[in-house]
């Protein structure tokens, strides 16, 4: 729930589901502590310093079974000229879900890659990396006796992003991702991983989010200066991606996890990890 001065918070039905949802949930961090400034430009190699070095490819894109669409022979644009092509593809995948009102129009692939790369970390997402516009509204809390927790009213602010999650067909998304993969791989190397493999990092991000705890009740939060933090230190210490799932609430988190498991089953050679046992009420 906390945002540092140099970071903010998180398209994909993964490449659309992960990052679009992250863009939606970024609002929670922004609304919870609006007086903390956000930088306007990234440090090119900042993420490289914290990420583990790749040893060998674990999930080669060539082995992804994505259906006939993956066999497309349409030429890809250069990464620097890919925004219009990528945006058109994502809008087509999302159908009538209103993605056009959320999607940013510049450096889309680079933003998606940087967002996915940051999700398993514990230092948040920089606002400048997000591929989607931040939602409107302010962060709401509810009071239950002496306990404060994220308010039920917040779900309305996440609704436009959840419509994108629901609208995207995982197999169609993965087929497009396989075709466009050279763009994502190039952007990942330019992010600071010359020997890295983006599909492996994507699987790491998905697995981390699938392992997010599932509290039976909305976790308690406490006020800390200009922002809220989770009252339970174990929850406050979770990765960026896992805390994002906590913020959307149990119902939306379950919908996201269903989509992520389907996408992962198409992208990875190894089985989807076992779902976590629901956690006890936090706080």
39-48, 78-87, 214-223, 240-249, range with the lowest pLDDT:
39-48
Least confident of 50-59, 115-124, 180-189, 257-266: 50-59
How far apart are alpha carbons 205 and 15 in whole angstroms? Answer: 11
Beta-strand pair 147-150/141-144: antiparallel
Rounded-to-integer distance, Cα 223 and Cα 121, Å? 23
Over pLDDT 70: what percentage of the chain?
Answer: 67
Residue with the larger pLDDT of the pair 70 and 236: 236
Question: Edge-to-edge strands of the sheet including 220-224?
Answer: 141-144, 147-150, 220-224, 227-230
Residue where the block lists tokens 């006890």: 280
**pLDDT value, residue 248:** 84
Average pLDDT over residues 260-271: 84
Structure confidence at residue 271 as a pLDDT band (50, 70, 90): low
Buried b / exposed e over 129-155, threshold 16 CB at 10 Å, is bbbbebbeeebebeeeeebbbbeeebe
Cα dihedral value 19, 267, 241, 7, nearest 10: -50
pLDDT at 57 over 70: yes
Q: What is the pLDDT of residue 281?
A: 46
Q: Among 117-126, 135-144, 216-225, name the most confident range.
A: 216-225
For 222, the enclosing helix (H) or strand (E) is strand 220-224
Question: E strands along the chain, which residues?
Answer: 141-144, 147-150, 220-224, 227-230
Q: What is the reported pLDDT for 104?
A: 79
Higher pLDDT, residue 79 or 156: 79
pLDDT of residue 63: 84
**Sorting pLDDT into bands at 50, 70 and 90, what band is 29?**
very low
pLDDT at 3 over 60: no
Residue 8, pLDDT > 60, answer no
- Asked whether the predicted pLDDT for residue 17 surpasses 80, the reply is no
Pairing between strand 147-150 and 227-230?
unpaired
Average pLDDT, the chain: 76
> Contact 212/238 with Cβ under 8 angstroms?
yes
Sign of CA dihedral 201, 206, 211, 217: positive
pLDDT at 11 over 50: no
pLDDT of residue 43: 41
The region of weakest confidence among 97-106, 206-215, 248-257 is 97-106
Digit-coded pLDDT (tens) for 214-258? 998 899 999 887 778 899 999 999 998 998 888 888 998 999 999
Q: Which of the four pLDDT bands, split at 50, 70 and 90, describes residue 61?
A: very high
Residue 1 has pLDDT above 60, yes or no: no
Highest mean pLDDT among 20-29, 89-98, 202-211: 202-211
Read off the tokens for 81.
């000229």
């Amino acid at each position: 729930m906390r945002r540092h001065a140099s970071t903010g918070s998180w398209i994909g039905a993964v490449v659309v589901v992960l990052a679009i949802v992250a863009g939606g949930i970024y609002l929670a961090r922004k609304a919870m502590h609006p007086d903390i400034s956000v930088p306007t430009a990234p440090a090119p190699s900042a993420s490289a310093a914290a990420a583990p070095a790749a040893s060998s490819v674990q999930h080669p894109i060539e082995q992804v079974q994505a259906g006939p669409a993956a066999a497309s022979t349409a030429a890809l644009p250069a990464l620097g000229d890919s925004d219009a092509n990528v945006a058109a593809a994502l809008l087509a995948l999302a159908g009538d879900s209103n993605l056009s009102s959320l999607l940013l129009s510049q450096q889309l692939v680079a933003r998606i890659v940087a967002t996915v790369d940051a999700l398993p970390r514990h230092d948040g997402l920089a606002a400048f990396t997000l591929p989607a516009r931040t939602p409107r509204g302010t962060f709401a809390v509810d009071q239950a006796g002496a306990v404060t927790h994220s308010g039920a009213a917040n779900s309305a602010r996440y609704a436009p992003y959840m419509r994108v999650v629901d609208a995207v067909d995982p197999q169609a998304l993965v087929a497009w991702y396989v075709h466009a993969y050279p763009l994502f791989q190039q952007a990942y190397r330019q992010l600071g991983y010359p020997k890295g493999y983006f599909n492996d990092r994507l699987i790491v991000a998905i697995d981390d989010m699938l392992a997010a705890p599932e509290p039976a009740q909305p976790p308690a939060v406490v006020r800390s200066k200009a922002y809220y933090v989770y009252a339970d230190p174990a929850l406050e210490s979770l990765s960026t991606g896992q805390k994002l799932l906590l913020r959307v609430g149990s119902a939306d988190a379950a919908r996201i996890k269903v989509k992520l498991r389907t996408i992962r089953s198409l992208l990875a050679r190894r089985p989807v990890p076992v779902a976590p046992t629901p956690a006890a009420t936090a706080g």
